[in-house]
Structures are given as C-alpha cells and as structure tokens.
Amino acid sequence: MKDVARKDMPLVVNIPTTGLAKYITDMAKQHNIAYVKTFADEWADTITKLSDDRVGVESDDIEDLLLALKRVEILNAEDMLSLLVNYLREKYGECDARRN
C-alpha cells in the first residue's frame, strides 16, 4: 500500500489495493460527499456523443465519487489517481500492488 497524506487530515492514510469500492464509498459518506454532475460533465458527455465514439467513456458511481472527493479537495490529484488506478485494476481483475 502507498501512504497518502490527505489534505483535510494531518494523519497519513494507506490506500488499499483491494476493496476499493467500499473504501471510496465509505470515504464519501464520512465526508458527506455526493457526486453532482456539472455543466462541464454534461458538455463532455455531449462532445463524446457527437464524436460518434463507439467505445464510449462512461464512468461508474465509484469513479464519480472519486471525482467529487477531488473537487472538494478531500483528495489531491495524486491521491485520486492512485485510488482510481487501484479501483480500475481491481474492477477489471488486474489488482497488483507492485505496480503502484
């Protein structure tokens, strides 16, 4: 696990390599944070649709929570990306802590 200093807490928190969905959900609940789609999010969705992107880039609820936690500065960019990478590795069956 990688040690991460969160902006709102003086303590160092370990980012897990498994159980990320629960970890992220619990963090959002602890800080009473929910994802709210912004105008920029709507704009990006529209551009993606207009570009005829067959693959489609759609975030799930956990990825949206990470974005919300970053927006209110509970997480800094590096911490958010570390959590996102670990979450996606776990989600798609490629969880390997040595890659951090």
pLDDT at 93: 86
Contact between 28 and 65 under an 8 Å Cβ cutoff? The reply is: yes
pLDDT at 41: 87
Burial level of 64, CB count in 10 A (0-12/13-18/19+)? middle
CA distances from 58 to 29, 64, 73 (A): 23, 10, 23
pLDDT at 49: 81
**Amino acid at the residue 47:** I
pLDDT at 57: 66
pLDDT at 19: 94
State the Rg of the chain over Cα: 15
pLDDT below 70 — which residues of the chain? 1-13, 53-57, 95-100
pLDDT at 56: 59
